[in-house]
Amino acid sequence: MDGQQGGGLMAMDVAAQWAGGVLTINLGAIAANYRLLTQIVRQADGESHAAVCAAAIKADAYGLGASLVAPVLERAGCRDFFVAHLAEGLAIRPAIRDDASSVFVLHGPPPGTARDFHEAGLTPVLNSMEQIAEWRALAKALGHPLAAVLQVDSGMARFGMTAMEVEKLTADPSLLDGISTVLVMSHLACADTPEVASNHSQLAEFRRLSALLPAAKRSLAASSGIFLGPDWHFDLVRPGAALYGVNPTPGRPSPVRSVVRLQARVIQTRTVPKGQAVGYGGYFIAPRESRIALLGIGYGDGFLRSVSNRGTAILPRRSDRPLPVIGRVSMDSLAIDVTDLGDDTVSAGDLIDLIGPHNPLDEVASAAGTIGYELLTDLGGRYHRIYTSE
């Protein structure tokens, strides 16, 4: 029996080692990015007035594994964590060890779940009059105040109370009876384009609306908003993507360290004649006799189909020679042209970088016609994952 179990575990380990792709996640880089963003805020605000740096770990820490990422951030000094859904909050609360740390749920309590929030030690972000009423009713039933965040819509027209709703709360303070407001927040629509005028109009509207609500700490900036300057920092900033290596300052060199490296395994190589169609739909026609390598990941692994005929790959030992992705990305595979490597051939089992030191996440996302956020969160579960602390 024991031998069979051991053999089964060994077989599983071998299968993982030979997965079609390897995703290496540098937890040390995540911690370093958190410390860097904290330092940037302190330098901008002044040590005595610096905003607290929180962390968005929603969407499973942008696909990288929240249960592993959250403790690393906590050890780096983070005490305030943001998730999107109640289920995310319930899943991550046990991984956050310091009882003084807070988990805020951005979407607030779905109808009938206020008690679940309270019992799990989660703090809701209240976005509507209905959510406020449900949280107020629980506080009354329990006989003591309950902490909450109030979100206002400063101009993005997404989550948060409208100006009319905020004014209603101002006119009737009893609507907030039993609610201890620990934070008032909003979200910027165009923080990654600092020249856009709406950043200033949202700042002014947030100041106006937050002044109408009970005195509390305030938060407006997420990753890119940090780089708009101290006027946008208030009391707490909420970086997410920047922690995970996405450039928060598009068009300028990234201030943060890269976190992920995605490598695809060569399954097969072959030579095709000039004029040969490659892949679904004949989307690529070989302009010459070509050597191609077939790699073992595709859109089923979250490597987007839009990279077809647009992206590049890198053989680590030949980083000077980008290798074009040719033909359509399939569910489980993609093809690259390795002809220009000449005598430096690739073989089955070799690992090719699709995201890495010479193929940055944001550049790969741009080739796919998207942003680093989407590419990062799309990376699937079939990869063999390696966590490092370099």
* Single-letter amino acid code for the residue at 77: G
pLDDT at 366 over 90: yes
Check whether 11 has a pLDDT greater than 80. no
Secondary structure class of 81 (helix, strand, coil): strand
Given pLDDT bands bounded at 50, 70 and 90, which one contains residue 278? very high
Give dist(CA 302, CA 297) in Å, integer. 9
Average of pLDDT values for 156-182?
Answer: 97
* Amino acid 17: pLDDT: 72
Nearest to 295 by CA among 350, 371, 375, 345: 350
* Residue that has been written with the tokens 């909450």 in this structure: 148
Residue 96 CA to residue 33 CA, distance in Å, equals 19
Q: Look at residue 4 in the predicted model and tell me its pLDDT.
A: 42
Active site residue 387: no
Which pLDDT band holds residue 345 (cuts at 50, 70, 90)?
Answer: confident
Calculate ∠ Cα 226-31-356, nearest 5°: 90
Catalytic residue among 62, 217, 244, 280: 280
The CA-CA-CA angle for residues 323, 325, 329, to 5°, reads: 155
Mean pLDDT of 162-170: 97
| Chain segment 230-269, per-residue pLDDT in tens | 999 999 999 999 999 999 999 999 999 999 999 999 999 9
Looking at residue 100, its pLDDT comes to 85
Per-residue pLDDT at 10: 61
Mean pLDDT of the chain: 94
pLDDT at position 6 over 60 = no
Stretch among 17-21, 54-58, 239-243, 273-277 having the lowest mean pLDDT: 17-21
Catalytic residue among 34, 58, 62, 373: 58
Please report the pLDDT score of residue 22 as a whole number.
Answer: 96
For the cut 50, the answer to whether the pLDDT of residue 1 exceeds it is: no
pLDDT bin (cut points 50, 70, 90) of residue 14 is: confident
Is 7's pLDDT higher than 90?
no
pLDDT of residue 3: 40
- Collect all residues with Cβ–Cβ distance below 8 Å to 258 and sequence separation of at least 6: 26, 29, 245, 356, 357, 360, 361
pLDDT at 99 (0 to 100): 82
Average pLDDT over residues 384-389: 95
The kind and range of the H/E element at 168 are helix 163-171
98: DSSP letter: -
Percent of the chain with pLDDT strictly greater than 70: 96
Digit-coded pLDDT (tens) for 44-73: 999 888 999 999 999 999 999 999 999 999
Task: Note if 58 is an active site residue.
Answer: yes
* For range 127-151, the mean pLDDT: 98
Residue 250 DSSP class: T
User: Residue 9: its pLDDT value, please?
Assistant: 58
